[in-house]
Amino acid sequence: MTPQELVEAQDRLAAFAAEVFAPLGRVDQRRWGERYVRGLLGEGRRKSMEPMAARLGVDRQGLQQFLADSPWSHQMVLAEVAWRMEPVIRPDAWVVDDVSFPKDGHASPGVAAQYCGALGKTANCQVAPSVHLVTDAASCPVNRRLFLPAAWDAAAAAAEEAGRAEHRRRRARIPAGVGHAEKWQLAVDMVDELRCWGLEPPLVVADEGYGQDGAFREALTERGIAYVVGARSDTAVLPETVTRTAPAWSGTGRKPVVRYRDQPVAVRELVLGIGRGALHRVTWRQGSKGPLRSRFAALRVRPAGVRLRRAHRGADLPVCWLLAEWPAGEEQPVKYWLSTLPADTPLRHLVRAAKIRWRVEHDYRELKTALGLGHFEGRTFNGFLRHVTLASVAQAFCTLERLCPPAAATA
């Protein structure tokens, strides 16, 4: 925001900050919280501690103390953001996503050689999974974790690395109860926490990094949460019509086992098998250059990965949607999704839900380029989570300004 925009919005920002920082126990903490958010909203290339303090005209040590050492819960602030933004955004879905932060050194908490979405390759980075309230018009991150690879957990690291892991944890001040967990488990934990705060997901959407894991899909199903998640082209499925059978029993020996006799097939082969004749042209939203449309096929299938077959041994495999995008001019489909939305869900609704992640990607540009999401230069676990939380507070305020402009609010 420009200096003039910040001046014009200062009363609204003060009211918003008072609301989301209400859980902070001391007046000075709430004051520092508002200052930090004001620094993130303001102009300036870097939103790290020193340049922000200089632009704000405040003591750098005070800002540092608030972020790194002052006792306050970033989760309670996120809960306030979630309660404030949910009725404003009225989400069509909760989107599970993650963001990566490339790093040069090895001291930042959670840093390791792992896939870095920001660079599109394996690199030295931190990865932070998140959950966002989303519509096509707006999004807001309302929960976040920092992924700790096994090398950062003495209990999960190889024996020869356990001592080094413990040393790194002490330096980064990682709480004793925080260890390595798969990203899909962190996502489920965040969904559970949001539900404990009184929110309920209309739908969970995630890319194939999460959707390819049967444990993630099963966890959502166990909680009664519908999903639309990306799937790899080699995801194993059976057609819905396939049933479990057993050969006739001879009357002697063991009775034959009732099971699926058909071999699972990759979703790519299944869709190629039905051919282009099964495709339908769908327009899912208006883009900046006109309507966004492509060709899609939707089939009812039974996911049949090893984990699912074991979990449902002796029972029918559950049925869900397989959605495939096969644009004109392409030799084969380019994207796949699995969904537990109801069997009578219209194709356009399936497509729109699958594509809604665009909004999170769009709003991450604001978080990264304007609000300093990746500008934290400290090396502590709590400091990192507090900085990205405060960036989420800043983005929530920007979203409120867009959805509820002052002229409309006072008309």
> Where do the domains of the chain lie?
3-207+361-410, 211-242+260-356
CA distances from 346 to 179, 204, 309 (A): 42, 18, 28
Q: What's the pLDDT at 405?
A: 76
Q: What is the pLDDT of residue 407?
A: 54
Contact by Cβ (8 Å): 342, 313: no
Tally Cβ neighbours within 10 Å of residue 10.
12
Start-to-end C-alpha separation, the chain:
23
CA dist 284 → 149, 292, 348, 354, 355 (Å): 37, 6, 7, 10, 8
Please give the helix or strand (H or E) that residue 325 lies within, else none: strand 320-325
HSE-up of 282 (CA within 13 Å, CB side)?
Answer: 23
As a whole number of angstroms, the longest Cα–Cα distance in the chain is: 89
Residues of the chain with pLDDT under 50: 408-411
Contact 273, 373 (CB under 8 A): no
Express each pLDDT in 248-303 by its tens digit. 777 777 777 777 888 899 999 999 999 999 999 999 998 888 999 999 999 999 99
> What is the percent of the chain with per-residue pLDDT over 90, rounded to a whole number?
76
**H/E element, 38:** helix 27-41
